[in-house]
Structures are given as C-alpha cells and as structure tokens.
Structure 1
Amino acid sequence: MARRFVVEADGGSRGNPGPAGYGAAVLDPETGETLAEAAEYIGTATNNVAEYKGLIAGLRAARALDPEAEVEVRMDSKLVIEQMSGRWKVKHPGMRPLAAEARGIFPPAQVSYEWIPRERNKHADRLANEAMDAGKRGEQWRPAADEALEAPAVPAEAAAPAVAPPGWAAPADLGAPATFVLLRHGETALTPEKRFSGTGGSDPELSPVGRRQAELVAAALAARGTIQAVVSSPLRRCVGTAEAVAARLGLDVHIEEGLRETDFGAWEGLTFAEVRERHPGDLQAWLASSKAAPTGGGESFATVARRVALTRDQLVARYAGRTVLLVTHVTPIKTLVRLALGAPPEALFRMEISAASLSALAYYADGNASLRLLNDTTHLR
C-alpha cells in the first residue's frame, strides 16, 4: 500500500507585491506528526506567487520522502486549489509556469487538493511568516531545531543590540569597520571549462594562468597597502593564491575551514551540460530551491550559507577594525554579498565572480554591512 502524506502550504506578501515568503509542512495523516518542513524568503513577489512557491516546496518535500506516495494538499488559497484541481483556468501568464512545475512533481493521480480555512492552516502560515521575518533580518530561514543546536545560550543582558537602519555612513562612534577584501582564487585547469569544482572534487592546483593572476593581484594589493591579514580556504587553489599575495605583503596565511567551496557531490568535475544530461531532476530541484543538494550527498546552498555566516561572524569579531584579505571561492563570496544586501537565495544565480577578482564588504559595530566593491578585475588587464 502506498504511503499517504498531507501537505499544508501557504505563502504571503507584505505589500502584495512586497517582501514575500512561503511555508510548507509534510504531515502523517494518521498521527499528525510533522515529517518535513520547508520555508523560504523569496524577495519581492505577490501573494499568489508565494502561495504557488509554497505548494511546490511542499510537494518536493513529500516527493523526497517517497515519490510513490499519495498526497493530499491542503491550502487556504482558493485560487491555487481551484486552479490545481482543474476547475479554474490559470489565466495569469506569471502563474502558468508555477502551476506547470507543481503538476510535474508527482503524477496527477497521486495528488488531491482541498481548500481549508486560514485558521486550519496555521502551521504553514507560521513558517511563511518566519521566512519573511528571517529575510527582513538578512538571514535564511532555519528549522527551530537547527537554531537551538547552533545558537549558544547567552544571558539576556549579553544579547546583541538591535541593528540600526543602514545609512550612507556609519555613526562616528562606531569606529572603523571590519573590512573583508574578497579574492576569488586564480584559474585552475577546470576553470575555463566551467566545470563544477568544490570541496569534494580533485582539489586542483593553480594553472600557469592562475599563478600569473595571483602575481598580478598580489602586486595590485601591495600597491594599495591596506591589507593587514590574509585568511584562506584550505583548498589548494586558494592557498596558492593566498601565498602569492602574502609573500608580497610580508604576511602569514591563516587557514579557515569555513571558507571552503560547496561540496558538489557527484557533480564534481562535470560541466553544467553534463549534469543536466545525467541528473536532470536533481539539477532542476537545485536550481529551484536553496535547500536542494547536488546528487550524491553534496551541500545545499542553505547549508553553505549557515557555514559561511558563522565563519563571517567569527572573523568579524577576530578582525574588528582591520582590513583582511579572504581568499575563497565563488559560492562563499556570493553568499557573503547576498547576506550583506539582504537579498534572496536566488540572487546567487545573478552575480558574476570571475577568477582572481576582488570584492569588498565592510561590517560595522551596529551589525550593518556595506558592499564596497564587486568583481573587480582591472588588475588583470
């Protein structure tokens, strides 16, 4: 007998359109036990888009548990329920791709839809609001269990002060910020071929082109004379780049595990086209959700974001008021920029970070961050 799941989903927008998020829960229909939860801040969107995104996330979470299961979807959105049941047409062009995506997750015969009043959809509604609240703070939503495990217990009087509204300049009494100059490593043999190259791969060294790039960026940073410390990912392409710069500056290289690249699992060493051919379903899920991991036990972007955020906080405390070079990879750099801007997870796919490029972020004592530079490659010309 096929397993049965209940998916409760919801989405909301504070402004319609405005800052939006969704929430979804997969429940055991017999016991009411929560089997899985999903929530995400999606940036500026309408209520309807957020509701469809919640439906898609809930169905994907159910499919991850059992692709053969029978699923009953319960939502308080009359529009989504009627459209997905086939009783109403999907007239809005922006909704059609979302409805099609939702229909493609399970065979239609395995899914039924039921409208419920809002007071019966409190679980998913709470998750959607948690996601929107997290987005407002520039964070990603995390399950409560994760937060309890990761957050150290601190007395109330030791809690961090509320973050002040960002402005053109920091108040004078905040002092100098911790400034991170973000350097992507130089090229490896895999870089020009645009192959996935993360923590779980072959750990390639710099190519001759990459070594030349490292020397050029070292000369540029030495001329500026502002770097006070060099911190590097443990992977060889970053260490090689960091050592070239540190030697020119007369500094040591400090290794920081949290700056390593994403583990791309079974995709390591493959091109995007090869992954699309061999693992089309997993790739589609990865592109659609920051919580989806690459095939074969890789890291999701949400997992990387938690690691990078923790590392950021530790480095900001360690190097308060100083300018530090962080030699790292595409995903950690994009993640630091995204978090500083309070941008949604999909912003990762909208940034270009070239080999041996420089970006810069400043972190102030009141918790605000300022993006000062992004993907500068003028030193390579």
Structure 2
Amino acid sequence: MITDIVMLRHGRTSMNLERRLQGQVEVPLDIVGQWQVDQSGLALAQRYYWAKVSNLATHPELLPEAPVAAVRAVDAEEYRKAPASQRTMVVVSSDLFRAQQTAHVFADILGLDVHLDPRLRERGFGEWEGMTREEIRERWPEDFRSWRRHEGGELAHGVESRREVGERGAETIRSYVRQARDVPGEETLFVVSHGSWIVATIATLLGMDVDAANGLDAMRNAFWSRLSLEHGADGDRWLLAEFNHGPQIAEFVDWENGPEQLRNPDMPMWRPIAG
C-alpha cells in the first residue's frame, strides 16, 4: 500500500539555461544539471537507505558472495529480519532522457530498477517548444500576455492546458495507488518528472485550482516534493509534507549555476525570469 509519494524534478539542461520551453523535447542534462542530480541523489539515497536493505531482503541473490576462505558467509537473514524489509520503494520516471538520467543517479545507488512511464512526461508546449519567452512575446504578444495571466492564450498554439497536465498526472499517481492497494506493507513511490508536471499534479491531488496564478511556486531543478497518503474508510487523504526541497548544499552554493569549477568561460549565467 502506497503511503508516500516523492516527486523529484530533473536537473538543469542547456535549454533550461537558455530559458527555453522544453516541454517534451529530448535534451540531456548539462554539466551543472549532472552535478545537481548527483547532490540530490546522494542526499535522498542517504534518507531512503532502507530501500536498499528492503531490496536486498527481497532479492538476496544480489548480495555479494564471500570468498571461499571467509570464515562466514554473507548472512541474508540479517536483511530479511531488518525492520527496513517491511516496506518497499518503487522508482518510476518520465521516459524523457533528462528524467531518466536523474532517476538513475538515485536508484543506482540503492540498486533499484527504474520503470519508465510516458504519462510522467512534461507539459506539452506545442509550437512553443524550444522557444524563449522573448521569442514568443515578439511573435504572439496577446497570447503571451494571456498565458502569463493564466488565461489560456497558449492553448491556440497546441499547448497542453495546466488542467490537462494536472489531471494526467493525478490519474497516473492514483493508478499506482490502486495497483499497490493490496500489496502488504507500506510502499514509497519515487517519481522523477518535470517542473510543470509536478506542480500541476500536486495541485490537482490537493484539490487546488490549477489555473490559479501562483498557487504553488515553480519547482527548482533537482528539488523534490513529498506527499503523504492516508487511507481511510471515506477515501484517500493527500497531505503535502514537503514542497520544493533540496539538499543542504543548495543553501551554501549558487544552485542554479553550480560551483565555479564547473563553469567554462563560454557558459552564460542562469538568471531568474523577470516579468
């Protein structure tokens, strides 16, 4: 039974740096994005180390074999008897490559499989994909202003509505909950996806108005949010336990631009969106 859902956004890409709408365009992490997911992956792997123990308890064949000269064999019973073995974790990821890269940094540390799901893809931005906001404003000023006011001007360009994204994401999460309802023990669902998808999905699950301007802040690259799920006779209750959290190192460095030793002389600096 799923009781916790962690949602991790992918790390920075070159298109993030250029402030282009990525949507469902395929683009890999850049050097700073790889650093970001390494930091978050390590922090989350420390927090959820129990998932490695649980996985080994279920799959003792993954344990290393002691050499013949060893006075004792590796004891699989230690893993089976550990309290950690009583709960499980499943890692699912958008099938877009930047999300896959992010998911594997975390999952590989714990020896977990990554299951790809196209339903976790980012919001589709139609003919605006790959464009900067300045380019969109120049070509379609009225639609751009309507989009920024959350009034739907983007829909004329094949952009998926926020409501559609939220419904797609919420139904995907609910489908995982239904599938695991009869699985014994508690399960954590670890989801790797995209900024707009995560915000819209959380808002929908919490019953918020997805189209309300600034209902939830935008997710930062390689930051995570967490929902708790309470199962009751009257239905499921969703609680927002964490939103837009990152590793401790993000408090002490320029997270969006990474440490100086990663920046080449030709790399522009990431700047917040103004206006």
Using the size of structure 2 for normalisation, the TM-score is: 0.68
- Pick one of 32, 56, 66 that aligns with 1:209: 32
SS in 2 for 1:190: helix
> Contact between 2:2 and 2:189, CA under 8 Å: does it hold in 1?
no
Number of aligned residues: 204
Work out whether residues 267 and 295 of structure 1, in 8 Å CA contact, stay in contact via their aligned partners in 2: no
Residue 298 of structure 1 deviates from its aligned partner by: 2.3
Change (3 A) 1:189 1:240: same
Tell me if the contact between 1:265 and 1:299 (Cα under 8 Å) persists in the aligned partners: yes
CA distance in 1 between partners of 2:210 and 2:164 (Å): 12
1:244 aligns with 2:105: yes
Q: Distance in 2 between matches of 1:252 and 1:296?
A: 37
| Matched letter for residue 345 of structure 1 | V
**Closer, same or farther: CA 316–290 of 1 in aligned 2, 3 Å:** farther
CA-to-aligned-CA distance 1:118-165 (integer Å, 9 cap, x gap): xxxxxxxxxxxxxxxxxxxxxxxxxxxxxxxxxxxxxxxxxxxxxxxx
Equivalent-residue separation in structure 2 for 1:380 and 1:230 (angstroms): 24
- 2:12–2:30 CA contact under 8 A, matched in 1: yes
CA contact (8 A) 1:266 1:294 kept: no
AA partner of residue 236 (structure 2)? G
Structure 1, 313-322 or 250-259: larger mean CA deviation:
313-322
Q: Is the 8 A contact 1:190 1:197 kept in 2?
A: yes
Name the CA distance, whole Å, in 1 between partners of 2:40 and 2:150: 35
In structure 2, what residue type is equivalent to 1:360? R
The corresponding residue for 1:351 is 217
Q: Quote the sequence identity (%).
A: 33
- Residues 307-337 of structure 1: CA distance to partner in whole angstroms, max 9, x if unpaired? 1121121122234431121000011110122
Indicate if the aligned counterparts of 2:225 and 2:242 stay in contact, CA closer than 8 A.
Answer: yes
Query: C-alpha distance in 2, partners of 1:283/1:230?
Result: 36
SS in 2 for 1:372: strand
Check the 8 A contact 2:166/2:202 in 1, yes or no.
no
Give the SS at the match of 1:360: strand
Does the CA-based 8 Å contact 1:181-1:325 persist in structure 2? Answer: yes
After superposition, what is the alpha-carbon deviation per residue over 1:79-116, rounded to whole angstroms, capped at 9, x for unaligned? xxxxxxxxxxxxxxxxxxxxxxxxxxxxxxxxxxxxxx
**How do residues 1-381 of structure 1 correspond to structure 2 at under 5 angstroms?**
177-199=2-24, 201=25, 203-224=26-47, 225-227=49-51, 228-289=89-150, 293-320=154-181, 321-347=186-212, 349=214, 350-365=216-231, 366-381=235-250
Could you state the TM-score of these two structures normalised by the residue count of structure 1?
A: 0.50
Alpha-carbon distance, 1:345 to partner = 2.1
Counterpart in the other structure of 2:268: none
Aligned to 2:17, what secondary structure does the other structure show?
coil
Query: Which 10-residue stretch deviates more, 258-267 or 296-305?
Result: 296-305
Quickly say closer, same or farther: Cα 1:319–1:291, change in 2 above 3 A: farther
What displacement does 1:233 show?
0.5
Runs of 4+ deviating beyond 6 Å: none
Report the Cα offset of residue 261 of structure 1. 0.4
Helix, strand or coil: the match of 2:211? Answer: helix
Relative to structure 1, the CA distance from residue 226 to residue 259 in structure 2 (aligned partners, 3 Å threshold; closer, same or farther) is farther
Task: List gaps (5 residues or longer) in structure 1.
Answer: 1-175
- Pick closer, same or farther for the CA change 1:380–1:231 going to 2, 3 Å: farther
Deviations, residues 193-249 of structure 1 (Å, cap 9, x unaligned): 3221111x3x10011111111221221122112551210001110001111111111
Matches of 2:151 and 2:227 in 1, distance apart? 23
Distance 1:204 1:194, change over 3 A: same
2:230 touches 2:236 (CA, 8 Å); kept in 1? yes
Query: Match of 1:286, as an amino acid?
Result: W
SS at match of 1:326: strand
2:236 and 2:152 mapped to 1: Cα distance?
26
Alignment-mate amino acid for residue 228 of structure 2: A
- Tell me which residue corresponds to 1:3: none
CA 1:213–1:282 in 2, change beyond 3 Å: closer, same or farther? same
Letter in 2 for 1:363: L
Describe the shift of the 1:209–1:361 C-alpha distance in structure 2 as closer, same or farther (beyond 3 A): same
- Identify if the C-alpha distance between structure 1 residues 295 and 195 changes in structure 2 by more than 3 Å, giving closer, same or farther: farther
Q: 1:354 to 1:226 in 2, by over 3 A?
A: farther
- Superposed CA RMSD: 2.1
Work out the CA distance in 1 between the residues paired with 2:205 and 2:166: 12
